[in-house]
Copies of this chain bind each other. A is one copy, B any other.
Amino acid sequence: MLARGVTNLSDAYSGRLFTFAGGRDGLWRVVLNRPVSGEPLASVDRLAVLMGDARVEARWLLRGVTSYERYVTADEKRSLLAAQPPIGRPEATCAALIPIRKSAEWWQLPQDARRAVLEESSHHIATGLKYLPAIARRLHHGHDLGEPFDFLTWFEFAPRDRNAFEDLVGALRATEEWQYVEREVDLRLERG
């Protein structure tokens, strides 16, 4: 008897796993595709955000899984839960997909050192909180899937919050944490 294949996923896991397909199809029109660090992603017209391990025809497929919190404390979690908006608000017609890979040095740091860089030095969680409820965010992990990016962060916001979003990504890129980022692409999208 052969064990189940990888595509035969449980419902619970399919609800956590997302595939970002860059190509000719999808709800989102690509308005910017800028390599910030390292290798770029091939140019595409549209992006589809698909649930599960979708093997669709595309120029590239990036996968990531939503997961438990690696750094957020109980107090931070309460603040986030109180303020964070859902994905899919009708007015949020702007989006960004920011795939990131961190260095081997980052992954070799113990938990307390990574937390210290991420929050005590870089204020990553506090910075994100400042832009709630304007900017919705969903984090997908790829490191343990063997993906080319460790993180795929998906953001959604209304056109009026475009400047706020620039401030947010600018603040994060200026941090100590970002010194561990060895590959980053900045994809901006608009619905329709």
Interface residues on A, range: 35 or more
Within the assembled complex, what's the spacing in Å between the Cα atoms of A96 and B144? 23
Which residues of chain A from 42 to 58 have a CB within 8 Å of any chain B CB? 53, 55, 57-58
Say if the beta carbon of A163 comes within 8 Å of chain B.
Answer: no
CA distance A59 to B14 in the complex (A): 24
Chain B contacts of A16 at CB under 8 A? 146
Residues of B within 8 A of A1 (CB): 58-59
Considering only CB atoms, which chain B residue lies closest to A66 in the complex?
B144
A174 at interface, CB cutoff 8 A: no
Q: Does A134 contact B (CB under 8 A)?
A: no
Number of identical protomers:
2
Would you list which residues of chain A between 106 and 153 have a CB under 8 Å from chain B? Answer: 107-115, 141, 143-146
Is A2 among interface residues, defined by CB-CB distance under 8 A?
yes
How far apart sit A29 and B60, CA to CA, in the bound complex (Å)? Answer: 43
A2 touching B57, Cβ below 8 Å: yes
Q: Across the interface, name the chain B residue whose C-beta is closest to A22.
A: B3
A73 to B1, CA, bound (A): 43
27 contacts between A and B (CB under 8 A): A2-B55, A2-B57, A2-B58, A3-B58, A3-B60, A6-B53, A9-B146, A13-B146, A14-B146, A17-B146, A65-B146, A67-B143, A68-B109, A68-B143, A69-B110, A69-B111, A70-B70, A70-B111, A72-B110, A73-B110, A73-B111, A74-B112, A74-B113, A77-B110, A111-B115, A144-B144, A144-B145
